[in-house]
Chains A and B, each alone.
Chain A
Amino acid sequence: DAGITQSPRHKVTETGTPVTLRCHQTENHRYMYWYRQDPGHGLRLIHYSYGVKDTDKGEVSDGYSVSRSKTEDFLLTLESATSSQTSVYFCAISESMASGDHNEQFFGPGTRLTVL
């Protein structure tokens, strides 16, 4: 899986609690992304990063924040989890333009989050 790990892989939490998901890569790729996947909606971009400390919002960023203090780690935080944030979360990475032609994203194994 292209050197991407996500932790935890499964989590059950209660409404109102903070939750942090971690994405770790060993590929030294510049770009990192957080998606959520829900039935009928496919993958939707939450936030992404184009370098250390450089992040931007995706289409469903409300209720989420991110941080990237090192190239290899991208953290997704739900400050106060809600039941609507029950989903499968995927992290992805992408290499810099100079090193490839395909511009593909490599995905982690996913984190299944349930908010009760």
Chain B
Amino acid sequence: SQKIEQNSEALNIQEGKTATLTCNYTNYSPAYLQWYRQDPGRGPVFLLLIRENEKEKRKERLKVTFDTTLKQSLFHITASQPADSATYLCALCTDTGRRALTFGSGTRLQVQP
């Protein structure tokens, strides 16, 4: 069966450290993968997209890697800040024509000051 798993429900780190979140998938061949941030009581907000032929993408303190052999994406936040505390969702697109996404259940990141 198809499955998307994010490494843990919650991740606690100290301010200034690098947070690394994992997204693993099985039985998918995604054309691209996206990462979203969700704050309590709000809708998700898009952060980054990485395509199947790309290995790495960066945006400010964010970095995403995509390994289609391992079927895994890693999401890094460097020099983390308390304001980075949120739930982070990965999402796969396996049908670019329909542009429908399948989401993981998310990882809640807590950055301690």
Contacts and interface: CB of A to CB of B under 8 A. Distances in A.
Interface residues of A, number: 28
Given A102-B49, A104-B34, A94 B44 contact: no
Interface of B: 32, 34, 41-46, 49, 89, 91, 93, 96, 98-106
Nearest to A30: B99
Contacts of A41: 105
Nearest to A45: B100
Interface stretch (A13-21, A64-72, A75-83, A106-114): A106-114
Interface of A: 1, 31, 33, 35, 40-45, 48, 50, 56, 58-59, 90, 92, 94, 97, 102-110
A104 B100 contact: no
Nearest to A41: B105
Contact of B98 (A40, A44, A56): A56
